[in-house]
Structures are given as structure tokens and as C-alpha cells.
Amino acid sequence: MTDPTAALAELETLLGPRLGTRAADLAQHAASETHVRAGLPQAVAWPETVDEVARIVAICAAHGLPVQGWGAGTSLEGHALATRGGVTVDFARMDRVLEIAPQDMRVQVQPGITREALNTRLRDTGLFFPVDPGANATLGGMAATRASGTTAVRYGTMRDNVRGLQVVLADGRVIRTGTGAPKSAAGYDLTGLFVGSEGTLGLITELTLRLHPVPEAISTAVCAFPDVAAAVAAVVVTMQAGLQPARIELLDQAASRACAAHAGLDLPARPHLLVEFHGSPATVAEQAALFADVAAEHGATDLARADRPEDRTRLWKMRHAAYPAILASRPGAQGVVTDVCVPISQLAQAVAETQADIAAGPVPGPILGHVGDGNFHAILLVDPASPEERAAADRLTARMAERALRLGGTVTGEHGIGLGKLGYMRAEHGPAWDVMGAIKTALDPAGLMNPGKLVPQD
Amino acid sequence: MTDPTAALAELETLLGPRLGTRAADLAQHAASETHVRAGLPQAVAWPETVDEVARIVAICAAHGLPVQGWGAGTSLEGHALATRGGVTVDFARMDRVLEIAPQDMRVQVQPGITREALNTRLRDTGLFFPVDPGANATLGGMAATRASGTTAVRYGTMRDNVRGLQVVLADGRVIRTGTGAPKSAAGYDLTGLFVGSEGTLGLITELTLRLHPVPEAISTAVCAFPDVAAAVAAVVVTMQAGLQPARIELLDQAASRACAAHAGLDLPARPHLLVEFHGSPATVAEQAALFADVAAEHGATDLARADRPEDRTRLWKMRHAAYPAILASRPGAQGVVTDVCVPISQLAQAVAETQADIAAGPVPGPILGHVGDGNFHAILLVDPASPEERAAADRLTARMAERALRLGGTVTGEHGIGLGKLGYMRAEHGPAWDVMGAIKTALDPAGLMNPGKLVPQD
């Protein structure tokens, strides 16, 4: 059934020079930001319209060729990598803002726009798009992987901030999900189904996103805790008291040391919380003061407020540069980044067990967490020349996933499944994984949309 | 294939007296709160465990008998009514709280518990479940219909407040969706798919719900506006300014008159907003003052603050009693309640056109709205002896739905599809409705789960 030659000829007729088959094109789309690797696609397509995307998918369907979407290549789990060749659809040329509706606090965009470009475009509206996974990912990729990040504790994840989609299905049909209204009770939540479906049910060609008012005032603080358990306990009390941190980030001892060294800041080598409040000047001042009290009751010291924009920027730059900072803490190391999420009541135990597990082996692994969500990451620093360390990192990653499940959590809070976590889906979902498989089969019976991902494989 | 006698015999062996086949049992489950009517089920089952639910569904599947779930019978669109007989599964005996996890701000419940009973059980935790559709519905029913209500503007709908489910599928398999963690990026969002699926994909047998801190302070106010457009404009500015009303409710002229008369309050016969803020005493005072400024700029008068609990209770009692109050304004009338939702930028126009449409006909129809969400209801007061009025109400309802679609909205913000709105699904969703049908067929190939509802009918 598969006939790549005929398919590629049809695609070239459709796209001309916007179909790439040179080795460099293919290689560029065979590696994303981390260690995860797969095979090469047979071609890369750069469509400019939804009609072109629909025709690409229809041609691939007719010839039995796989199709995977590509955003900015910032996936940490290899979501967009080809497992069976086929065509990688790169959305770089579909990066427009289609409509800003400030009264409705809503924007309509093409999937290839990055979150930084979107927020630049929104600058004069008094509104912003809050979801911030760290990397300057595309909105299409963020929706496909259900991304979140530091601000999810207040503003939610992509699940909460995508109002509607346009999607090209496996047979080339184009559908719209959602409406312009803020909510609906009319039928299955297809928007929610496609968000996080990792390209296995269709390609997202347009997104309607929810916007939020730029806060009038922002207050940021950082403080040190005697141990991770005390920091987590402070977060639980903060949330239960009804404070609404816009971000509340944990850096463990090792992460604090690496980040402070890299940023030239003077932080004690203890676990830290970075916290930020958004609102009116009076509200953020009140919430920051209440947080300081809660933190102090849990043994926090060295609390530093950063209310001036330049101090705030320095602190969050440090947090956002955590990955290079941690990499720099072991020169020559390769980073293996893994992510789990647990009930917040289990977070201190999950982090403590993970730290002990890391300490018992050869691979350093500073820990960072979006602690208000129970979500944390280990950045395992592996000597690429050492098969032993690589194997140790794999075992640590596996035990983190198993630990998260044992503690009632999920094997990934925000990085997604991709190629790295497929082996845990049965353990996490049980027979519900077969329901995902049944939905996949119903919408993509030939299994051509991002094959080898997310659902049970035959 | 259908063999009700054998199926009912097996069910009676399973359930004994908890299988009801008397005329009174059947009639009680053939009418919900509004005018929508369908046929009788052949039996009513009152299971006590998930295993019993699974066996009921398996027995019905083996004999080709339809199955529909039943909560409190408060549906406004006839969701739970039998269209082809079969067994109605009444969850009245599955109404327990299974686990309260205060640190995780989470509760696990059976589907038959009502929201009032749940909040009573939560009273000592400092937490509450905010979704409030007005009626004292069951949580299972609220999830199945993606209910929302007055507080959705701040706390979200059932979509945002259900973290996980246990579901009995059409073949009797039992699955769990979601985890104990606050978020996950591991696979299709099955929780979101079952929320709002109106019993067509399975029966919900357990829910994990998100809780919120009881606010330290609450501030409520009511004020009159010269017209609906001014009230809506005030709401837009309020939301864009980053104020976070916990409720913001519109009563049009007719609704204000009826509600005030019923409650013995003295309100001018103009459109009103009722608004409430939740937070610390300082925050709610600041937000209430800012709202008062915004309202005044839009011509609001007669602003009355209700900060004392008894005054607040009186105001919200008036709002919650709107349905009986409006019914009482035309003695002997039957209420036909309909609901649409539009982008907030279109709300003033949608309400104005609806008011004009109502005024041109014989049927009075006060309008109430969850205006922060663009969601509003008309309560059409029909003389049950007049076929003309009944037909006029049907035409008004149809035109409201068509108007909502024309203005970029949805035919139902929160009441759901049930039997009343099935005819608008194609217009709202286009080919996406076929995707819903494909999912239904994949999970319920025999079409026995709440047949005649939600998806394209053969």
C-alpha cells in the first residue's frame, strides 16, 4: 500500500520548493531538544494554508504514508520524531495571528506561532497568554502536548486555555471544535480530546486561545527552607489559605547551587521557593506578606523580595536558565530531563525518595518543581561516554515514573509521552488505555497520524 | 435481539427489591423538572456498588436493552429520559463521600450525592465545591451534563472541577480516568471526554473533584443599569481590569421585577447586576470598590452593598428563587427554560434581539444571565391551554439557538443537549458532529447507552 515515490511526487506538485527531501531537511526534523532520537522522515512539508495541510494529509492517506506535525522542535520526549518515515509537516510558515478579540479576551492563531511572538503581538492589548513551558515553543505544539509550566498553578495548562481548534483529520476532512463562547454544554469536548493527543488524531491548523489581563502589579520573592518537606508544607498552607500564587517554584539544594552559580546570585545551598503574585498593588502586597508569614512558620530564611522589575527579571532569568545552569554544573554532561506529577500531599516524599535514589548512584540530578501542581523534574547529568551512567539514568527515570504511580500521580505532568514514556501508559491507565486505542482506531483506522505514539501499539 | 423478559429476570436476581417495575417507579423516572417528556423505562435499578452497575450494564448489553443513568431528575432538557425503554439506573443509593483529601484540595464521591449534601460534608474542612447550577443536582448528573452556574465565572464549570472518574463502559468494563495529581500530560483526556457526554459513552460510578478554599470574606452588591448594553459593558471592563468576580449575574427588566416582587425587595424595574467577590477582607473591599466605580461609569444607580451574611443570603435567595418567582409572575403558566451562550462582545446584542423577539409575541420571557460567561436564559411563560403559545415558545427557543450560532456562540452554555437541542448539533458542529458519532460507535457499537441522545441518529 505504501508508495512513497508517487506520494512525494504529488506533494511536490502541490508544494514545489516547500517540500524538502534533502538530507539536511530530514536531519533537522529527526532530533528535538533532548536525548530522544528516532528515524528520519522521508520528506518535510512547509504548508501555508489549511487547504494545503488537508491535501498533504489526503495524499499521505491515499498512499499509506505516515504524517507527523512539527512546531519548534522543543519537545523533551520526541513527540514529533518520525518512527516510520513519512512526511513531517513543519508549521513554520503558518505562524500568523488571525484575530485578536480583546473584549472576549480571546485570540485566534495559526499553530506555528511561538508563545513569545504571540505575547509580543499582544503587547498593546493589556492582555497576555500565560502558559509558559520555558522553551519558546509553538502554540500548536503546546496544544498537541498539553503543555503547562511555571504559571499553570494560577492560569491553568493548555487544557484550560484552548477554547477551540481547527483540525485536519486523518482522512483530510477539516473540522472546527469549540465556539467563540467561553463555555458550552453541547456535546463531547473535542477540543479537550485533541489537546494532548500528540498529533495522533489529526493536525491542529488553528487555535482559539483564552487571554488574561496583564496584572497591574507583580511581586516576586525567593526564600530558603531547611529541607524540601518544609518548603512543600509551606506551599500546601499557602494554597489552602486561598492565596493565588501565579508561580511557585521549588529548586532543591543541588538546583539552587547550580542556578545561583550560573546567575551570579548569592543563595545558600538549601532548597528554595521562588514565588510570584499577580494582581492589584494592594492584593500582591497582602499576598506576599501572608506568604512571608507562612514561609517563616515553616523555617524559611533569607527571604528576598524582588518588586522592582529588574530584580524580578533577574530571578526568573535564573529560573528559566535552570537547564543550561544545571548542564554547566557538570561540564561535558548530557541532560536527561524527566518529569512526573503527584498529589501535593505526596510531593515531599516523592522528592525525598528521588533525591535518595539519585544520591545512591553515579549520576547527579538536580530537581526543579512546579510545586503548586505537584509537578517536578529531575535533570540527570550523564557522561555521554559512559554506558553505565546512561543505564543508571534510565533506571532513575523508570523508578521516578513508578514512584509517581505508586503515590497516586502520573508519569508526566507536562512533558508528555512521546517516545520516552510509552512504556508506562498501561501501568498508568489500565483498561482506559484501550479506550484511547479505540478512539484512535475510530479516527485514524490506518494508523498514519504520528504512528508509534501514545496508544497501544499492535 | 432485545429480550426484556429474560434481562429483567436476571436483573431481579441481581438486585431483588432494588429493581423497580411498578408503574409508579417508571412514571417517576419519565419526567424531569421541565416540559420535556419522553417514554417510560421498562425498569428502574437502584445499584449500591460499581460491581452491580457493571453487571446491570453487562446484562442489558447481552439482551440488547438500553441503559440510562438518573441523578436527581433536575435536567432541563430531558437528558435522563428513556427514548427506547430499557433500564434507568438511579444512583440514589450510591451517594457516599469516599475520601476527603484536604491537603490535595480533592474529594472522591459516588455519583448520587447532591452538591448540597457534599458541601455539608465538607463544612469542617475549610474547603467547598463551588459549581452551583441552582438545582440541588447530583454530582454524577452535573458531570454527565457539564453543568456550571453562577460561580463558573471564577471557579469554572464541571469540565474544570472534575479531576478523574470511574466509568462503567457499554460492555460492562470498568475504567478509571485521571490520577490524584492536579494535572497530567499522559494521553487523551478521557475525563474531559466523559464530562458532558450525557451518559452516551458509559455510566459514571465515581468522581474525583477539585475543592477550593472557603473564602475568608465575601462581598455582594446589586445595582441597576439604564439598559442591558450598559450592564454588559460594565462586565467587560470589570473582567478586563483583572477583577475576579465569583459571580456576576444579569437580571433583565422583567426578571428584576418578578424577582423583587417575589422576594419583597425594592428594586427599580431596570436591568440589574448582582455581583460577588471572594477573597481576603482587603481584597474583596478593593474589588467591590473598583466594581462600584466601573458600574457608576456605565450609568449604574441604586448600588446596594450586602456585606452582612443575612443581606447577602437574601440577595442570593432572590436570585436562586428566580425560577419560581418568574413562574409566579404569570399564575398558571408553564415555564419553558432555554439557555444559550455567546462571546461576551455579542451578549448585549443577543439579549436585545431576544427581548425584541419576545416582546413581539404572546409569551412573556424574563431573561437571566451568567453574564461573565456570555451565558443567558429565557424563562418563557406559556399558557398550557394554548397551543399557539406553546408553538410561539418553540419558535422563540429555536431563534435563540440560531441567533447564538450566528453570533459565534453555542446553543447551550450549561443546560446541555438532552432531547431539547439535538436538532441544533449539526448546525453548531458541522463535520465535527460526525467525529462525535465515530467516538460513540467506537465505545458503544450497539448504541445502548442513553440512546437517542447527543450524537447523529441513524
ipTM here: 0.97
Q: Name the residue in chain A with its Cα closest to that of B342.
A: A181
Q: What is the mean pLDDT of each run of 10 residues along chain B (458 residues)?
A: 85 98 95 80 98 98 97 92 96 98 97 98 97 96 97 97 98 97 98 98 98 96 96 94 95 95 89 96 95 97 88 87 93 94 96 97 96 96 96 97 98 96 97 98 98 94
Check: CB of residue A352 under 8 Å from CB of residue A229.
Answer: yes
pLDDT at residue A317 greater than cutoff 90: no
For residue A10, count other CB atoms closer than 10 A to its CB.
19
Closest CA to A258 of A194, A311, A197, A330: A330
Q: A369 forms bridges with which residues in the sheet?
A: A250, A376
* Averaged pLDDT for residues A292-301: 96
As a whole number of angstroms, the distance between CA A386 and CA A394 comes to 13
Whole-number CA gyration radius for chain B: 22
Q: B167 forms bridges with which residues in the sheet?
A: B175, B204
Contact flag B185-A147 (C-beta cutoff 8 Å): yes
Check: CB of residue A376 under 8 Å from CB of residue A339.
Answer: yes
Query: Which secondary structure element, helix H or strand E, spans residue A262, and what is its range?
Result: helix A253-263
**For residue A141, what pLDDT is reported?**
98
What is the pLDDT confidence band of residue A2, given thresholds at 50, 70 and 90?
A: low
What is the pLDDT confidence band of residue A320, given thresholds at 50, 70 and 90?
A: confident
pLDDT 10s digits, A185-206: 999 999 999 999 999 999 999 9
**For residue A387, what pLDDT is reported?**
96
Q: Which of A181, A438, A443 shows the shortest C-beta gap to B342?
A: A181
Which phi and psi angles does A172 have, rounded to 5°?
Answer: 90, -5
> What fold characterizes domain B217-323?
Alpha-Beta Plaits (3.30.70)
**For residue A306, what pLDDT is reported?**
86
Check: CB of residue B445 under 8 Å from CB of residue A441.
Answer: no
Domain covering A4-92: architecture? 2-Layer Sandwich (3.30)
pLDDT at residue A34 greater than cutoff 80: no
Contact flag B179-A424 (C-beta cutoff 8 Å): no
CA distance A21 to chain B (A): 31
Check: CB of residue B78 under 8 Å from CB of residue B448.
Answer: no
Question: In percent, how much of chain A has pLDDT > 90?
Answer: 91
Q: B61 vs A68, A189, B54, B197, B229, CA distance in Å?
A: 38, 26, 10, 19, 52
Domain A95-213: which CATH number of 3.30.465.10, 3.40.605.10, 3.40.50.800, 3.30.160.60: 3.30.465.10
CA atoms B232, B237, B240, B245: torsion sign: negative
Closest CA to A286 of A275, A295, A277, A296: A277
CA distance B210 to chain A (A): 12
Cell numbers for B162: 472534575
**Identity (one letter) of the amino acid at A60?**
C
Contact flag A343-B180 (C-beta cutoff 8 Å): yes
| Residues of chain B with C-beta less than 8 angstroms from the C-beta of A182 | 341, 343-344, 373-375
Contact flag A181-B240 (C-beta cutoff 8 Å): no
Q: Name the residue in chain B with its Cα closest to that of A423.
A: B186
Give the range among A35-39, A292-296, B452-456 with minimum mean pLDDT.
A35-39
**For residue B83, what pLDDT is reported?**
94
CA distance B171 to chain A (A): 12
pLDDT at residue A265 greater than cutoff 90: no
Contact flag A432-B404 (C-beta cutoff 8 Å): no
Residues 6+ apart with CB under 8 A from B382: B333, B334, B335, B336, B363, B389, B390, B392, B393
Contact flag A103-B236 (C-beta cutoff 8 Å): yes
* Residue in this structure with the C-alpha cell 490506518, named with its chain if needed: A446
Q: Which of A183, A345, A441 shows the shortest C-beta gap to B101?
A: A345
Check: CB of residue A188 under 8 Å from CB of residue B443.
Answer: no
**For residue B444, what pLDDT is reported?**
98
Q: Which of A174, A183, A417 shows the shortest C-beta gap to B341?
A: A183
**For residue B215, what pLDDT is reported?**
96
Closest CA to B299 of B270, B258, B341, B278: B270
As a whole number of angstroms, the distance between CA B275 and CA B278 comes to 10
- b (16+ CB within 10 A) / e for B111-144: bbbbbebbbebbeebebbbbbbbbbebbbbbbbb
Contact flag A188-B196 (C-beta cutoff 8 Å): yes
As a whole number of angstroms, the distance between CA B287 and CA B284 comes to 5
**Identity (one letter) of the amino acid at A22?**
R
Q: Please provide the size of chain B in residues.
A: 458
Chain Cα centroid distance, residue A458: 27
From the candidates B165, B166, B183, which should be mutated to test the interface with A, based on the most A CB atoms within 10 A? B183
**For residue B315, what pLDDT is reported?**
87
Residues 6+ apart with CB under 8 A from A171: A57, A58, A61
**For residue A316, what pLDDT is reported?**
87
A/B interface, count of CB pairs below 8 Å: 293
What CATH code would you report for B330-427?
3.30.70.2740
Average pLDDT, rounded, for chain A = 95
pLDDT at residue A360 greater than cutoff 60: yes
CA distance B388 to chain A (A): 29
pLDDT at residue A1 greater than cutoff 90: no
**For residue B408, what pLDDT is reported?**
98
* Averaged pLDDT for residues A296-312: 90
pTM of the entire predicted model: 0.97
CA atoms B443, B445, B450, B454: torsion sign: positive
**For residue B449, what pLDDT is reported?**
98
Cell numbers for A28: 533537522
As a whole number of angstroms, the distance between CA B419 and CA A193 comes to 24
As a whole number of angstroms, the distance between CA B157 and CA B205 comes to 20
Provide the Cα torsion B79, B88, B451, B39; round to 10°.
-80
Q: Name the residue in chain B with its Cα closest to that of A414.
A: B185
Domain boundaries, chain B: 4-92, 94-213, 217-323, 330-427
**For residue B313, what pLDDT is reported?**
87
> What fold characterizes domain B94-213?
3.30.465
As a whole number of angstroms, the distance between CA B237 and CA B221 comes to 17
**For residue A311, what pLDDT is reported?**
87
From the candidates A154, A184, A419, which should be mutated to test the interface with B, based on the most B CB atoms within 10 A? A184
As a whole number of angstroms, the distance between CA A222 and CA A311 comes to 11
